[in-house]
């Protein structure tokens, strides 16, 4: 029995989607108040649609009732994108989780937005195919969320981000009309609305189906771990590999702070006395793999690598990756809370920026661990702190801002894959002019004239956004979650 | 002198922009005022669809371009940005054409960081010049050469072009990291950045990709680069039928060799390219020496099973394919997007028409220079759409482009909404998207 009297909004939603698809009791809303960011705010209603038509009906009803609409996948986003900061209707897409089609001959698949990234990968493996974007959260995040944030992963270095692998999108626009952007083929005519939509963090519409491009598994793959005494050496090795004209599939770095936490828990084989390790992977025809790994090894040695280990079996490869993938989970056990940052610098600036990041963290009195996509220059400084400690959260946020400034000063960006959301709205004018931001507002207006979709996200302006509802929360990521 | 159109009667159809006006050269005084010496060009060199603009400008700096655009917008002039001028007839004929805005003097490399594999250039630089400067560092922008040496970066972004390498390698829309765009309101706006990974704000550079210069003029762009392959090698496989060509081509694609192109030619195209008079599959490998050798070995193994063979041919075959659309007497050019497995079937379907057809398998793109009327063209579009694809009229006579929608996309009015946000006075390429007569 409902204890809360259903509002007219709830009533209309129930009529369109069925009673069990609509949540509005405060305790039912609780799990939907936050994502993996530090923001928290309750929606007024949550709907769990099963079809495109239901999503469209929900969007129409929200429009009639003049309430904000926030799309949500698994809520693993780090930028607060899936938090209903102005309340309103949260559209949770996790029930739309069918893989509608796998067309192996033409290397494409059509999936609903709630499909978990890894579930798609698993479904493809028997075809010898891959969906390239592999965010470290792939065991829990949705493809819809990946489209929302234009997710990357370790293999982005060679294959690019989500946008490079989305062929077409079915989208419910604000107001409830359904439109197809892109196609089942590459290079559809007209303005690249597909490309514009990917990474728009739920502000331009709700994705209800995604046509993704698949790639064929390679004949051979080699995973290597290069061990260095210092982060500097490891960073220089990254540039050296590229200088020698090899772009590996992945180049991930873990620093000493991370290794010391991860290794005892995971037994990945990272030496505890290493200053940094580089986890690298080359793929292709056997001949290419032999050649490229030789060049990679030489390049690492030239920059002072102490040792280079090569995975001889699939199990060894898994173990090396497990260390990387469990890093954030392992770090979560060492401190009451983590603040995981996401910034990008030109890869040739990695050594100096990493130095500065570590220096700043020391100044602030925090431990900072680094495990990141070194080949892309995509940093993830992870600050360990205790939110119960007086003023700690504020100081961590301040440190985060300063680290972002370092990235900007080095010619980089304030986010490589996690998005702007609410977290980095205020930093947007560090990299964009007023005119740039105004042009971005124009994009938003073209899709959503009333600004009802995911308000207060991405752009630093917005009616009533200034005050925010931001209540830092204490969070620990569970086992099996990794970054 | 008044703005005139070559074919009388053009104005019987109502321009969609709703801007009915005659502009006189004398009206352009304030525009002339912002031009620096040497910027003004002879308008007759900028004809399009038989129409000369009233004026042509070739600005020598980004700020000059922005200023010209602003004044033109204030004066309600119709502006056609242009670079290499190889694809001006893609889209509807313009309803007005007053000012040609030539970007080719904006041709500088602004920031090249070989160690980061990134580059930022002005948009009027030709792809050819860009590749030449990158080759010195053993790098390249992995986009296959377009039909003409004069093709500019701005033009290839605005048309979102791709060729035989597409599907094996990324396209311009994938390689772009950020851009600066001049808007009709005179502002210069930036999106993205210069680093290889970036998700800050809307990717407006992707919006301008394929926008045909209707939302703004791209003045700068940053790209991700690749190392140049050490070896390139091409092969021709003569096939007894198109369907056999399709089967073999898909099998080669499926093997993940060092392929950079797999293209099926119909018999007419084969004949034009001196590849015999039956269907042919062309394959290009690009990688290190040993990987190319290994790819060739595997190719020959695959073909043995089909009782077929591959002949080594010169790499210049690809340039010949690219110039197929630009031979004398070619008027209509179409490009269909179909599933890879349907490329040969679609080409086969095109046999009913007069003219050569060829298709790049990995991209599922079929090109053709057909001699057809509007009705046949629309019929072909239906066939492509039934296969889940599309058909774009890449080029055609003015009269054909007046009756046939070159694009065939429905987008719930989003293109129009963006146009009214970014170019409310319809200054840039007015009428490009819309039917003149509807
Ligand atoms: C442990 C951990 C590791 C991570 N590792 C990575 C990584 O390696 N790379 C990376 O890029 N990210 C990573 N992330 C961040 C996060 O997983 C990604 O951003 C992911 O894409 C979010 O997916 P989600 O389903 O959780 O989306 P949510 O968090 O629910 O939503 C993310 C954004 O997308 C929007 N959205 C969601 N669904 C839709 C839809 N159907 N239509 C329109 N908009 C929608 C939301 O409004 C929101 O703005 C990690 C997160 C965690 C917790
Ligand atoms: C008949 C035909 C055949 C073709 N065949 C092939 C082929 O076989 N293979 C292939 O790969 N490509 C092909 N193309 C594509 C064509 O060559 C490319 O699209 C080319 O990149 C255009 O560049 P450009 O500098 O010549 O642009 P232009 O022709 O000068 O301009 C093209 C369009 O872009 C706009 N534009 C130009 N510069 C800018 C700018 N800086 N900012 C905003 N808008 C701008 C113009 O207003 C115009 O709408 C073909 C095109 C045509 C018309």
Rounded to an integer, what distance in angstroms lies between the CA atom of residue A222 and that of residue B182? 46
Strand order in the sheet with A206-213: A99-103, A108-111, A206-213, A166-172, A178-182
* pLDDT tens per residue, range A327-367: 988 998 999 999 999 999 999 999 999 999 999 999 999 99
Domain boundary among B200, B227, B254: B227
- Closest residue by CA, ligand 1 atom 50: A137
State whether B44 and B119 are in the same domain. Answer: no
Q: Quick check: A439 and B227 CB within 8 A? A: no
Rounded to an integer, what distance in angstroms lies between the CA atom of residue B322 and that of residue B146? 7
**Nearest residue to B340 (alpha-carbon basis) of A237, A438, A213, A160:** A213
Rounded to an integer, what distance in angstroms lies between the CA atom of residue A181 and that of residue B365? 18
Q: How far is CA B277 from CA A45, A236, B151, B368, in A?
A: 67, 55, 31, 17
Judge whether residue A417 has pLDDT over 80: yes
Q: Quick check: B207 and A443 CB within 8 A? A: yes
Judge whether residue A452 has pLDDT over 50: yes
Task: Provide mean pLDDT across the span B201-218.
Answer: 97
Rounded to an integer, what distance in angstroms lies between the CA atom of residue A415 and that of residue A151? 11
Tokens of B365: 């793109």
> Is the separation of the CB atoms in A151 and A145 below 8 Å?
yes
Structural Rg of chain A based on CA atoms: 22
Domain boundary among B57, B72, B104: B104
Which of residues 431 through 470 in chain A touch B, CB cutoff 8 A?
A: 431-433, 435-440, 442-447, 458-459
Tokens of A295: 């060049």
Q: Quick check: B171 and A187 CB within 8 A? A: yes
State whether B26 and B62 are in the same domain. Answer: yes
**Nearest residue to A194 (alpha-carbon basis) of A279, A185, A142:** A185
> Is the separation of the CB atoms in A227 and A234 below 8 Å?
no
More confident residue, A74 or B323: A74
| C-alpha distance from A385 to closest chain B C-alpha (Å) | 26
Q: A20: exposed, middle or buried (C-beta count within 10 Å: 0-12, 13-18, 19+)?
A: exposed
State whether B78 and B122 are in the same domain. Answer: no
Does any domain span residue B244?
no
Task: Provide mean pLDDT across the span B411-424.
Answer: 95
Q: Which three-class secondary structure state does DSSP give residue A323?
A: helix
Rounded to an integer, what distance in angstroms lies between the CA atom of residue A483 and that of residue A175? 36
> Is the separation of the CB atoms in B131 and B141 below 8 Å?
yes
Task: Provide mean pLDDT across the span A271-291.
Answer: 96
Give bridge partners of residue B418 from the DSSP assignment. none
Total of domains in chain B: 2
- Of the candidates B113, B170, B412, the beta carbon closest to that of A160 is on B170
Q: Quick check: B173 and A192 CB within 8 A? A: yes
Nearest CA in chain A to B117: A242
Please indicate whether residue B396, judged by its CB atom, sits closer than 6 Å to ligand 2.
no
* Beta strands, E only, B249-370: 259-265, 280-287, 310-313, 333-337, 357-360, 365-368
Please indicate whether residue A202, judged by its CB atom, sits closer than 6 Å to ligand 1.
yes
Tokens of B296: 């060739």
Tokens of A60: 């129409």
Judge whether residue A54 has pLDDT over 50: yes
Rounded to an integer, what distance in angstroms lies between the CA atom of residue B367 and that of residue B173? 20
| C-alpha distance from B391 to closest chain A C-alpha (Å) | 8
* pLDDT tens per residue, range B255-288: 989 999 999 999 999 999 999 889 999 999 999 9
Residue with tokens 């260095």: A228
Rounded to an integer, what distance in angstroms lies between the CA atom of residue A114 and that of residue A101? 14
- Of the candidates A190, A198, A442, the beta carbon closest to that of B210 is on A190
State whether B78 and B126 are in the same domain. Answer: no
Return the CATH number at B30. Answer: 3.30.43.10
Which domains occur in chain A, in start order? 1-217 (3.30.465.10), 220-328 (3.30.70.2190), 335-420 (3.30.70.2740)
Q: How far apart are the first and last CA of chain B?
A: 30
Q: Quick check: A199 and B199 CB within 8 A? A: yes
* pLDDT tens per residue, range B220-248: 999 999 999 999 999 999 999 999 999 99
Alpha carbon A467 to its chain's center: 26
pLDDT band, residue A466 (cuts 50/70/90):
low
Alpha carbon B279 to its chain's center: 26
Does any domain span residue B144?
yes
Does any domain span residue B278?
no
Tokens of A378: 């995509």
Q: How far is CA B432 from CA A121, B88, B92, in A?
A: 41, 10, 5
Share of chain A above pLDDT 70, in %: 95
Domain boundary among B198, B227, B256: B227
Nearest CA in chain B to A289: B291
Please indicate whether residue A77, judged by its CB atom, sits closer than 6 Å to ligand 1.
yes
State whether B168 and B215 are in the same domain. Answer: yes
Does any domain span residue B321?
no
State whether B140 and B84 are in the same domain. Answer: no
pLDDT band, residue A38 (cuts 50/70/90):
confident
Rounded to an integer, what distance in angstroms lies between the CA atom of residue A155 and that of residue B210? 27
Of A376-385, A464-473, B123-132, B349-358, where does mean pLDDT reach its minimum? Answer: A464-473
Q: In the prediction, which pLDDT does B152 show?
A: 97
Q: How far is the CA of A76 from the centre of ligand 1 (A)?
A: 5
* pLDDT tens per residue, range B123-153: 999 999 999 999 999 999 999 888 889 999 9
Q: Quick check: A186 and B407 CB within 8 A? A: no
- Of the candidates A184, A187, A284, the beta carbon closest to that of B363 is on A187
State whether B144 and B99 are in the same domain. Answer: no
Does any domain span residue B86?
yes
Residues 6+ away with beta carbon under 8 Å from B24: B1, B2, B54
> Is the separation of the CB atoms in B351 and B266 below 8 Å?
yes
Q: How far is the CA of B221 from the centre of ligand 2 (A)?
A: 16
Judge whether residue A477 has pLDDT over 80: no
Q: How far is the CA of A145 from the centre of ligand 1 (A)?
A: 4
Q: How far is CA A66 from CA A87, A175, A277, in A?
A: 12, 10, 52
Does any domain span residue B218?
yes
Predicted ipTM?
0.94
DSSP H helical ranges for B317-413: 317-322, 343-350, 374-386, 398-403
State whether B221 and B113 are in the same domain. Answer: yes
Which DSSP helix (H) or strand (E) runs through B33?
A: helix B29-34
Judge whether residue B15 has pLDDT over 70: no
* pLDDT tens per residue, range B320-337: 999 999 888 888 999 999
pLDDT band, residue A1 (cuts 50/70/90):
low
pLDDT band, residue A196 (cuts 50/70/90):
very high
Tokens of A361: 């963290």
Q: In the prediction, which pLDDT does A469 show?
A: 35
Judge whether residue A29 has pLDDT over 70: yes
Does any domain span residue B3?
no
Strand order in the sheet with A22-23: A22-23, A45-47, A89-92, A69-72
Q: Quick check: A415 and B287 CB within 8 A? A: no
Q: Which three-class secondary structure state does DSSP give residue A301?
A: helix
* Beta strands, E only, B69-117: 79-82, 99-102, 109-113
Residue to probe by mutation, ligand 1, list A149, A325, A341, A444, most atoms within 8 Å of CB: A149
pLDDT band, residue B216 (cuts 50/70/90):
very high
State whether B69 and B130 are in the same domain. Answer: no
Judge whether residue A168 has pLDDT over 50: yes
Please indicate whether residue B158, judged by its CB atom, sits closer than 6 Å to ligand 2.
yes
Of A96-105, A195-204, A367-376, B348-357, where does mean pLDDT reach its minimum? Answer: B348-357
Of A66-75, A119-128, B138-147, where does mean pLDDT reach its minimum? Answer: B138-147
- Of the candidates B258, B339, B411, the beta carbon closest to that of A193 is on B411
Rounded to an integer, what distance in angstroms lies between the CA atom of residue B219 and that of residue B217? 6
DSSP code of residue B402: H
* pLDDT tens per residue, range B379-415: 999 999 999 999 999 999 999 999 999 999 889 899 9
State whether B90 and B117 are in the same domain. Answer: no
Please indicate whether residue B356, judged by its CB atom, sits closer than 6 Å to ligand 2.
no
Does any domain span residue B298?
no
State whether B115 and B218 are in the same domain. Answer: yes
Task: Supply φ then ψ for residue A164, to 5 degrees.
Answer: -80, -5
Instruction: Determine the residue among A108, A158, A195, A421 to mutate to test chain B binding: the one whose Cβ has the most chain B Cβ atoms within 10 Å.
Output: A195
Structural Rg of chain B based on CA atoms: 22
Q: In the prediction, which pLDDT does A424 show?
A: 94
Domain that holds residue B33: 9-104
pLDDT band, residue B5 (cuts 50/70/90):
very low
Judge whether residue B213 has pLDDT over 60: yes
State whether B43 and B144 are in the same domain. Answer: no
Q: How far is the CA of A419 from the centre of ligand 1 (A)?
A: 9
Return the CATH number at B133. Answer: 3.30.465.10
pLDDT band, residue A304 (cuts 50/70/90):
very high
Q: In the prediction, which pLDDT does A463 show?
A: 59
């Amino acid at each position: 029995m409902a204890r809360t009297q259903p509002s007219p909004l709830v009533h209309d939603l129930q009529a369109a989607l069925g009673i069990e698809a609509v949540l509005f009791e405060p305790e039912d809303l609780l799990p939907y108040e936050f994502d993996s960011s530090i923001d928290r705010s309750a929606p007024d209603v949550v709907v769990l649609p099963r079809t495109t038509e239901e999503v469209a009906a929900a969007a129409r009803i929200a429009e009639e009732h003049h309430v904000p609409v926030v799309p949500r996948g698994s809520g693993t986003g780090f930028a607060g994108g899936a938090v209903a900061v102005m309340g309103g209707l949260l559209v949770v897409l996790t029930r739309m989780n069918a893989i509608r089609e796998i067309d192996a001959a033409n290397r494409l698949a059509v999936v609903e937005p709630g499909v978990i990234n890894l579930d798609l990968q698993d479904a493809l493996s028997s075809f010898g195919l891959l969906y390239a974007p592999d965010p470290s959260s792939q065991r829990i995040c949705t493809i819809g969320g990946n489209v929302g944030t234009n997710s990357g992963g370790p293999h982005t270095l060679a294959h690019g981000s989500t946008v490079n692998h989305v062929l077409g999108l079915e989208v419910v626009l604000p107001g409830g009309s359904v439109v197809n952007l892109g196609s089942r083929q590459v290079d559809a005519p007209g303005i690249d609305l597909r490309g514009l939509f990917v990474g728009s963090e739920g502000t331009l519409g709700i994705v209800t189906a995604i046509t993704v491009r698949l790639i064929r598994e390679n004949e051979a793959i080699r995973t290597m771990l290069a061990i260095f005494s210092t982060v500097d050496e490891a960073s220089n090795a990254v540039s050296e590999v590229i200088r020698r004209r090899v772009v590996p599939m992945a180049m991930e770095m873990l620093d000493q702070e991370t290794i010391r936490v991860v290794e005892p828990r995971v037994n990945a084989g990272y030496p505890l006395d290493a200053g940094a390790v580089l986890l690298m992977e080359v793929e292709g025809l056997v001949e290419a793999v032999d050649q490229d790994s030789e060049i990679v090894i030489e390049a690492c040695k030239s920059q002072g690598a102490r040792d280079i280990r090569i995975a001889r079996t699939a199990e060894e490869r898994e173990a090396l990756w497990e260390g990387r993938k469990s890093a954030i989970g392992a770090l979560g056990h060492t401190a009451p809370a983590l603040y995981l940052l996401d910034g990008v610098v030109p890869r040739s600036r990695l050594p100096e920026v990493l130095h500065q990041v570590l220096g700043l963290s020391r100044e602030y009195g925090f431990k900072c661990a680094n495990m990141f996509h070194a080949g892309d220059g995509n940093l993830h400084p992870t600050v360990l702190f205790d939110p119960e400690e007086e003023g700690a959260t504020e100081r961590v946020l301040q440190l985060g801002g300063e680290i972002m400034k370092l990235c900007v000063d080095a010619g980089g960006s304030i986010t490589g894959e996690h998005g702007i959301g609410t977290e980095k709205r205020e930093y947007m004018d560090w990299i964009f002019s007023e005119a740039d931001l105004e042009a971005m507002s124009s994009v938003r207006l073209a899709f959503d004239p009333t600004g009802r979709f995911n308000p207060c996200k991405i752009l630093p302006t917005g009616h009533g956004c200034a005050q925010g509802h931001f209540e830092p929360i204490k969070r620990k990521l569970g086992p099996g979650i990794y970054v | 002198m008044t703005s005139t159109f070559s074919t009388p009667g053009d104005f019987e159809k109502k321009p969609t922009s709703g801007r009915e006006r005659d502009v006189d050269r004398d009206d352009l005084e304030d525009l002339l005022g912002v031009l620096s010496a040497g910027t003004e060009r002879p308008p007759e060199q900028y004809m399009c669809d038989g129409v000369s603009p009233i004026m042509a400008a070739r600005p020598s700096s980004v700020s000059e371009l922005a200023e010209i655009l602003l004044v033109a917008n204030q004066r309600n002039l119709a502006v056609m940005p242009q670079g290499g001028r190889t694809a001006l007839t893609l889209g509807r004929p313009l309803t007005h054409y007053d000012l040609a805005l030539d970007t080719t003097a904006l041709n500088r490399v602004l920031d090249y960081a070989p160690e980061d594999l990134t580059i930022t250039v002005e948009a009027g630089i030709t792809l050819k010049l860009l590749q030449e400067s990158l080759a010195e560092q053993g790098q390249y922008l992995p986009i296959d050469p377009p039909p003409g040496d004069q093709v500019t970066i701005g033009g290839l972004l605005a048309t979102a072009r791709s060729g035989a390498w597409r599907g094996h390698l990324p396209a311009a829309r994938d390689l772009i990291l950020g851009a600066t765009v001049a808007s009709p309101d005179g502002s210069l706006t930036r999106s993205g950045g210069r680093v290889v990974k970036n998700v800050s704000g809307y990717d407006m550079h992707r919006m301008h990709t394929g926008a045909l210069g209707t939302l703004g003029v791209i003045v700068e762009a940053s790209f991700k680069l690749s190392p140049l392959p050490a070896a390139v090698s091409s092969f021709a496989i003569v096939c007894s039928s198109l369907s056999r060509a399709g089967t073999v081509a898909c099998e080669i694609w499926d093997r993940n060799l060092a392929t950079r192109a797999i293209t099926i030619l119909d018999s007419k195209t084969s004949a034009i390219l001196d590849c015999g008079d039956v269907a042919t599959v062309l394959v290009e490998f690009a990688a290190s020496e040993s990987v190319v050798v290994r790819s060739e070995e595997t190719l020959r193994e695959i073909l043995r099973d089909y009782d077929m063979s591959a002949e080594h041919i010169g790499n210049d075959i690809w340039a010949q394919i690219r110039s197929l659309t630009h031979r004398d007497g070619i008027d209509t050019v179409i490009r269909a997007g179909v599933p890879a497995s349907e490329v040969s079937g679609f080409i086969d379907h095109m046999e009913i028409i007069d003219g050569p057809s060829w298709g790049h398998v990995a991209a599922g793109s079929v090109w053709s220079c057909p001699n057809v009327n509007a009705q046949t063209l629309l019929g072909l579009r239906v066939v492509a759409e039934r296969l889940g694809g599309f058909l774009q009229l890449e080029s055609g006579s003015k009269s054909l482009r007046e009756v046939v929608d070159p694009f065939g996309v429905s987008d719930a009015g989003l293109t129009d909404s963006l146009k009214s946000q970014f170019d409310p006075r319809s200054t840039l390429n007015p009428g490009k998207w819309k039917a003149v007569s509807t």
